[in-house]
Amino acid sequence: MTKILVIDDSPSEMAKFREMLGKNNLEIIEATNGEQGCQLAIEHQPDVILMDVVMPEMNGFQATRKITRDKQTAHIPVVIISTKNQETDRVWGKRQGAKDYLTKPVDEQELMQVIHSVME
């Protein structure tokens, strides 16, 4: 089963991801901050990571950089999903190592498409 690590500090967003990913038969691992997400990425080796940007302690850009530069997790594609929708945010996210960048609220069909494309 495909494992997706979702890193998001919002309980309501996490519930949406849980519903969308669950009905598409994807296993979900949940982290509520960047630091915890980096740890879970090493422990669980998910197929894809969905990353929020605005989080306490370590933001999504910092966590993406850490995951994509660590030998143990660099092979895992990171998709940033954020309310930050400026072109500069997109560019910065990709420069940190993200494979794609979606804005919230995320469309389920688009999310599934992106998950499958970054896994290929």
Closest CA to 65 of 84, 40, 37: 37
Provide the pLDDT for residue 42.
98
Closest CA to 93 of 64, 50, 55: 64
**pTM: predicted TM-score of the whole model, two decimal places:** 0.97
Give the number of domains in the chain: 1
Provide the pLDDT for residue 46.
98
CB-count exposure of residue 28 (10 Å: 0-12, 13-18, 19+): middle
Provide the pLDDT for residue 56.
87
End-to-end CA distance of the chain: 15
Q: In whole angstroms, what is the distance from residue 120 CA to residue 107 CA?
A: 20
- What is the mean pLDDT for each group of 10 consecutive residues in the chain (120 residues)? 97 97 97 97 98 95 98 98 95 98 96 97
| Range of the structural domain that residue 79 is part of | 3-119
- CATH code for position 89: 3.40.50.2300
Provide the pLDDT for residue 39.
98
